[in-house]
Amino acid sequence: MNIGDVASATGLPAKTIRYYEDIGLVAPRRGENGYRTFDETDLHKLSFVARSRSLGFSTEDCRALLELYNDRSRASADVRAVAEANLARVAAKITELEAMQKTLTTLVHRCHGDARPDCPILEDLAAPTA
């Protein structure tokens, strides 16, 4: 398989796949012509990474997870630790964003949003109340 095939199979842009090779997440062989040649294992790894990334794991997490995946004797606790750390990050981010959302919603609602110049949003940014 060439990179384009893998791109459509995984949904990852070819650029991204090259980048993943760069940072050592995958190591396809090369054909006579210098083209990358992906086998089923490469494809599987890339799908794994794509799925992991979509769940918020960093590329370093992906590297660790791939290693754990290939280590037949890993403890499931090790995997869970990685997943829990990520879950904590995600939860923290949600909390942070929800606080923003709350404030922004209030401000947007308070602003009449017409042609007049007075604006509660700017007033809050300039000197937040509470």
Partner DNA sequence: ATAAGGGTTCCAGTCACTGGAAGGTCAAGG
Partner DNA sequence: CCTTGACCTTCCAGTGACTGGAACCCTTAT
Least spacing, CB of residue 48 vs a copy of itself, in Å: 5
CB of 11 to DNA, least distance (A): 11
> Does the protein bind DNA through residue 34 (CB under 7 A)?
yes
Q: Which of 24, 32, 73, 129: binder of a copy of itself (CB under 8 A)?
A: 73
How far from each other are the two terminal CA atoms of the chain, in whole angstroms?
A: 59
Tokens of 73: 């004797």
Which range touches a copy of itself (CB under 8 A), out of 3-11, 15-23, 34-42, 54-62? 54-62
Of 48, 52, 84, the closest CA to residue 76 belongs to 84
Which amino acid, 28?
P
Binding mask 4-23 for DNA (x = CB under 7 A): xx-x-----xxxx-xx----
The CA distance from 19 to 3, in Å, is: 12
